[in-house]
Amino acid sequence: MENKYGIEYTKVGDYYLPNLVLEKEKNILNKYGRMRLKFLKENKKAEYTIMFVNGTLNKHLKEIQETAKKRIDIIIKQLKQENNLIEEMKNTDQLYWISMMNNFKSTAEEIILNELIYV
């Protein structure tokens, strides 16, 4: 069934549901984009549906993943400065440097999850 606006519908039981298709866009989601998408689908269904119907979902996810990547880099850089972790330590004390960098990355990701993804 099609109405005057060109939207096709499929009858499911007693209801007609629109056949919505997300525009094909070359948008490869990284970890943070996929996490935001999953969060929207499971916890913010109304926002997800509105963005999906308006065609702004891909743009939103792309913005989130770009912002998340930039923020993580900034946070890690700040943590390195605060803890006096310098690149030369990579050669002198590798295990310490790796453990500190892993710690900084985990801290940065936790901040990002609370600031951008699960909001």
pTM: 0.73
Q: At what angle do helices 45-54 and 57-82 cross, to 10 degrees?
A: 120
Q: In this predicted model, what pLDDT tens digit does every residue of 28-59 receive, in sequence order?
A: 889 999 999 999 999 999 999 999 888 899 99
Q: How many Cα atoms sit within 13 Å of 3 on the Cβ side?
A: 8
What pLDDT does 28 receive?
85
Q: What angle do CA 8, 10, 14 make, to 5 degrees?
A: 135
Mean pLDDT of the chain: 89
Indicate if the pLDDT at residue 1 is higher than 60.
no
